[in-house]
Amino acid sequence: MAVEVKTKETNEIETEQLATGCEAIAEAIRLADVDVMAAYPIRPYDGVMQAAAKLIANGKMDVEYIVADGEHSQFEIVKHACAVGARVFVGSSGVGWFYAFEAIAVTAGLRLPVVAICGNRALDDPGAFGTEHNDSLAVRDLGWLLPWAETAQEALDLALMAWRVAEDKRVSLPVAIGLDGAFLTHSQHIVKIPTQAAVDRFLPKFDLGDRLLHPDNPITIAPQVDQDWLMEIRRQNDAAMRNALGVIREAHADFKRIFGRGGESPFLDEYMTDDAEVVVIGQGTLSLPMKVAIRRLRKERGLKIGLVRLKWFRPFPTEEVVKSLRRFKAVGVIDRDYSFGSPYYGGVLYNEIRSALYSQEKRPVIVGFIAGLGGREIEQPMATEIFEKTMAAGKGDLAAGDTCHWIGVRE
Amino acid sequence: MAEERSVSIEVVYRGIFQKTLAQRICRSVVLAARKRGHTGTAFARYGDSPERNGVPAKQFAVVAADELELEASMAKYEPSVVDVSIAVDDTLVKGVESWAWYGRQPIWKPVRANGWLLVTSDKKPDEVLAQTDKAERPYTLGIVPGGASFAGLWVYKDDHTDFRVLGALAKILPQWIALDDAKAASLELAKGDQSAVASVQYGYDATTMRRVKDGEGTSGHEVLQFKKPGWTKMRPGVIVEARKPGERNPYYKKYGARTMRPVVNFDTCIKCTMCWLDCPDECFEVTPEGHYEVVYEACIGCGICAQVCPVKDCIVMVDELKFTDNKDKWQLWKTDHSKYNSWFEDMSGVSADPKKGASGSVPPNANPAANAATNPGADPAANPTTSAGGDE
């Protein structure tokens, strides 16, 4: 599906940089005029730390840059800074993300719009630096919004979207942007850096309103509650998460209007799906080798195959996903994560997609693939295998369908 | 009455101080009923944890004819209706207001019509009833002889309050707890100490019963209610309004935690501010004359003010059951000085005029914290805290 690039409404000149995903995020921190960021090193998130520190050192950015004594403190610092009205940024990776888990878990309940990145990394031990999505996905049930970026450009764009959506009063929830370790965090791409004026038009000043913790507005945030209160708190968060879908749509439309980028749908990026009979769906950078395979297999074998890339995992765009996927005979879901002991021994996304489509009378065959764990490359023979298995399932090969396949694992 | 298939008992106690006592009572109920083949469960109201000193809390025992019947009582925080409510401190009859219940409640609130309210007390039934909220349905008030007990605390000797209460229960619920079973269970719980059996028998014999008719009791206690809001009404982010300066929480007044209250001799007060400074709940208000008066709705009766007061017998801790309301007394002192002083002497048992010395005995003390406070605290020379100059 072709992406129509709209003319920008002004003639402001964007600059181009060769930037990693982490550097692109640092540029977004500068453009968003973040007040407080908290840092603690862990690969691959630490690329943002370094890039942001350099911007400050060079006098290009003014942000309260707090190096914490660990990830838990990191997330506590921004949570509290956010409560007193600071626009904040934070991030971590892999087990560091887990070390912050207590703070992460309570941030959404307090409705504090913290923006974070999770530089996706396998959960060691044993030490592995490569990308795996289980770190981000561990917070999927906690009320965090979870978008995934494909490129450094999208990392920057999603970060600007993240503050806008998170800080919207109808949402007021934290966002954690997933960036694939190495492939995105540490690979340089050409990135368009928008002008400050354009960003200022897109991103209003952060205003917590009457929820601001300030001596002039004496309130208590998070008093002790018991069983008489929790369900109401959860239901409120649920409403905010539901609101987020509409707010993302609004923000996406504005983003396209102001910056001229962003694609058709805020939630899905479809590639060569117009005539496709079989597609694969996944998140993050695994789309890149799959697109190569689609072009190659279409050319070599005339296969009618395509790709749907999911941009937001939470809130899960059920309507859009159902509308898109029910057109196809078979859908292969590629997970760069795994859920041990889950239904059909599948990945997290696999089971979410199956669940989303269950209500449909006519639904495609769904095949799960576990691929690229721990940062393993998805090479072309693997991509071919994924499409072949999905197509076989579409033709009624039950051995291939309704199950999950490990791709590229040594027997 | 149709054959009862289960019986529910609650023990209302003072948080921390009587937690183990309450637990022992509930356990002994189930273990005694078990002797007849009944089954049961004993549990605490988890929502009250972490308990705070003196705050009313509850534990429960449910005994049932069989396991199926018991299921209805399992996985509950608290039964909404009980057959018997047991208050192990007689000041609790003024109503309970715990952290989890949102507002003061009459002590009999969950007791079913024609159920029982057992109170451990050394007072007469009518004295206790005079401080109990006006009944809205008939019940029987039972006084189990004995003062408020701290036997469950590790530093206190066992005094068999639990066995006396078990004996009283055997008297009112013989179909569930037979006297012989109660004795057998107590003997096991006391590891063969025969005096436990005597205590069960004493509780059985000495508990005095008084039928309470609809409308008997006092209407002097304030009714506090708190309506829990729905999710569409709550502020996002678990936010609640802070109290404005000088404003006190209208829902949670804390006085339900009080077993003794401080009374102030304004004549001897030297306006040193120590009580005002040291009160952990900021209960003191400054009068136009510069004295310090207790806001009794906010006071938990911890006794720290009496302890830090450098003047002998200026702040005296007095048994809470002597008072019928939370009104301040400063106005009375101002308008009718001699009437105030005779009131002060009557309540505190000490002379309002320091030159005359003590005019009576200090009443028996129910609160260990207050105990430490009243006795040595009134004499600055005997009190290292005050003689050392407090924070200086």
Q: Does B75 touch chain A (CB under 8 A)?
A: no
Angular region, B217: left φ>0, alpha ψ -120 to 50, beta rest: left
* Contact in structure between B312 and B379 (CB atoms under 8 Å): yes
Phi-psi sector, A161: left (phi>0), alpha (psi -120 to 50), beta: alpha
Q: Is the CA virtual torsion A310, A311, A317, A320 positive or negative?
A: negative
Spell out the residues 6+ positions from residue B365 whose beta carbon is closer than 8 angstroms to its own: B260, B317, B371, B374
Sequential DSSP letters for A64-105: EEEE-SSHHHHHHHHHHHHHTT--EEEEE-HHHHHHTHHHHH
User: Worst-scoring range by mean pLDDT, A234-238, B248-252, B364-368?
Assistant: B364-368
Q: Is A211 on the interface with B (CB under 8 A)?
A: yes
The mean per-residue pLDDT over the stretch B178-200 comes to 97
Residue B25 CA to residue A378 CA, distance in Å, equals 66
pLDDT digits (tens, 9 = 90+) for A55-82: 999 999 999 999 999 999 999 999 999 9
CA-based torsion, B42, B46, B52, B57: positive or negative: negative
Best of A114, A213, A236, A243 to substitute, by most chain B Cβ atoms within 10 angstroms, is A236
Sign, CA torsion A90/A238/A120/A127: positive
Interchain CB contact of A84 with B (< 8 Å): no
pLDDT tens by residue, A187-209: 999 999 999 999 999 999 999 99
**Mean pLDDT across chain A:** 94
Using the predicted structure, report yes or no on whether residue B100 has a pLDDT greater than 90: no
Look up tokens 């209302």; give the residue.
Answer: B12
Query: Counting every residue, how long is chain B?
Result: 392
Summarize pLDDT for B318-335 with one digit per residue, the tens.
999 999 889 989 999 999
Q: Are the CB atoms for A198 and A137 separated by under 8 Å?
A: no
A221/B contact by beta carbon, under 8 A: yes
| Whether the bond into A126 is cis, omega within 30 of 0 | yes
Q: Is any Cβ of chain A less than 8 angstroms from the Cβ of B237?
A: yes
pLDDT of residue B222: 80
| DSSP code string of A332-364 | EEEESS--TT-GGG--HHHHHHHHHHTT-SS--
In sign, the C-alpha dihedral spanning B334, B336, B338, B339 is negative
Residues of chain B in contact with residue A172, where contact means CB-CB under 8 angstroms, are 236-237
Q: Encode burial over B177-197: b for 16+ CB neighbours within 10 A, e otherwise.
A: bbbebbbbbbbebbeeeeebb
Q: Does A235 touch chain B (CB under 8 A)?
A: yes
Find the CB nearest B238 among A218, A221, A239.
A221
Average pLDDT of every residue of chain B: 87
The 10 Å Cβ neighbour count of residue A138 is 17
CB contact under 8 A, A227 and B234: no
Task: Average the pLDDT over each of A78-82, A301-305, B246-250 and give the range with the smallest value.
Answer: B246-250
* pLDDT at res. A14: 84
Closest listed residue to residue B260, CA positions, set B146, B363, B379: B363
B162 falls in which pLDDT band (50, 70, 90)? very high
CA distance B182 to B202: 12
Do residues A228 and B78 make contact, with C-beta atoms less than 8 angstroms apart? no
Q: Answer yes or no: are the C-beta atoms of B100 and B48 closer than 8 Å.
A: yes
Instruction: State residue A9's pLDDT score.
Output: 54
Q: How far apart are CA A57 and CA B356, in angstroms?
A: 78
In this predicted structure, what is the pLDDT of residue B382? 34
**Portion 103-122 of A in contact with B at CB < 8 A:** 109-112
The rounded distance, in Å, linking the Cα atoms of A229 and B234 is: 10
Q: For residue range A8-57, list pLDDT tens digits in order.
A: 555 667 899 999 999 999 999 999 999 999 999 999 999 999 999 999 99
Nearest-CA residue of chain A relative to B240?
Answer: A220
- Note whether A240 contacts B236, CB cutoff 8 Å: yes
| B240 touches A: beta carbon within 8 Å | yes
Which of B165, B160, B197 is CA-nearest to residue B181? B197
Decide if A109 and B235 are in contact by the 8 Å CB cutoff. no
Written as one letter, the residue type at B205 is: D
**Torsion over CA: A90, A94, A95, A98 (sign):** positive
User: Among A168, A169, A226, which would you mutate to test the B interface (most chain B Cβ atoms within 10 Å of its Cβ)?
Assistant: A226
B292 touches B328 (CB < 8 A): no
- Indicate the SS3 state at residue B278: helix
A292 or B367, higher pLDDT: A292
B237:A211 CB<8 A: yes
Q: 3-class DSSP state for residue A247?
A: helix
Cβ–Cβ contact A253 with B under 8 A:
no
A143: pLDDT strictly greater than 50: yes
User: What is the torsion angle, in degrees rounded to the nearest 10, for the CA atoms of residue A394, residue A398, residue A404 and residue A406?
Assistant: -90
First-last CA distance in chain B: 68
Q: Provide, rounded to the nearest whole percent, the portion of chain A with pLDDT above 90.
A: 91
The answer to whether the CB of A185 falls within 8 A of the CB of A179 is yes
Higher pLDDT, A374 or B97: A374
Rounded Cα distance, B63 and A46, in Å: 60
**What is the C-alpha to C-alpha distance for residues A82 and A76, in angstroms, rounded to an integer?**
10
Place of tokens 């009859």: B93
Range A91-103 average pLDDT:
97
pLDDT at B361: 44
Exposed/middle/buried for A249, CB within 10 Å: 0-12, 13-18, 19+?
A: middle
Query: What's the pLDDT tens digit per position in A334-393?
Result: 999 999 999 999 999 999 999 999 999 999 999 999 999 999 999 999 999 999 999 999
What average pLDDT does range B37-50 have in this prediction? 82
Nearest to B147 by CA among B157, B139, B159: B159
What does the pLDDT read at residue B357? 56
Cβ B238–A232 below 8 Å, yes or no? no
Cα–Cα dist A390/A405, whole Å: 10
Q: Which helix (H) or strand (E) holds B342?
A: helix B337-348
pLDDT at res. A293: 97
Which residue in chain A is spatially nearest to B239 when comparing CA positions?
A: A221
Q: Does B229 contact A221 at a Cβ distance shorter than 8 Å? A: no
pLDDT level of residue A224 (50, 70, 90 thresholds): confident
Q: How far lies B150's CA from each of A97, A308, B107, in Å?
A: 47, 69, 20
In the structure, what pLDDT confidence band is assigned to residue A227 with cuts at 50, 70 and 90?
A: confident
Chain B residues in contact with A112 (beta carbon < 8 A): 237
Beta-sheet strands, E only, within chain B: 6-14, 39-44, 56-64, 82-87, 111-121, 139-145, 208-212, 239-241, 260-264, 284-286, 292-294, 315-319
- Could you say which of A220, A233, A236 has the minimum Cβ distance to residue B242? A220
Question: Which pLDDT does position B106 carry in this prediction?
Answer: 93
Helix (H) or strand (E) holding A282: strand A278-282
Taking the C-alpha atoms of B357, B361, B366 and B367 in order, what is their torsion angle to the nearest 10 degrees?
20
Q: Taking residues A214-241, report their average pLDDT.
A: 91
Q: What is the CA radius of gyration of chain A?
A: 21
The alpha carbon of residue B174 is apart from the nearest alpha carbon of chain A, in Å, by 36
Weakest-pLDDT range from B55-59, B199-203, B338-342:
B55-59
Q: Do A280 and A304 form a contact (C-beta atoms < 8 A)? A: no
Helix (H, G, I), strand (E, B) or coil at A228: coil
Q: Output the pLDDT for position B99.
A: 66
Spell out which residues of chain A touch residue B228, defining contact as CB-CB under 8 Å.
Answer: 228-229
Extended strands (E) in B92-238: 111-121, 139-145, 208-212
DSSP-derived secondary structure letter, A4 = P
Rounding to the nearest 10 degrees, give the CA dihedral for residues A194, A195, A200, A206: 60
Partners of residue B239 in chain A, C-beta under 8 Å: 211, 219-221
Query: How much is the pTM?
Result: 0.86
Q: Counting beta carbons within 10 angstroms of the beta carbon of residue B121, is it exposed (0 to 12), middle (13 to 18) or buried (19 or more)?
A: buried
CA distances from A189 to A31, A48, B312 (A): 19, 15, 81
CB contact under 8 A, B234 and A221: no
- H helix or E strand, kind and range, residue A120: strand A115-120
Of A111, A218, A226, the CB nearest to B237: A111
What's the rounded Cα separation, in Å, for the pair A311 and A154? 10
Answer yes or no: are the C-beta atoms of B265 and B313 closer than 8 Å.
yes
pLDDT over 60 at A236, yes or no: yes
Name the 3-class secondary structure at A164: helix
**Residue B372 scores a pLDDT above 60:** no
Tell me what pLDDT residue B245 has: 80
Peptide bond between residue B50 and the one before it cis (omega within 30 degrees of 0): yes
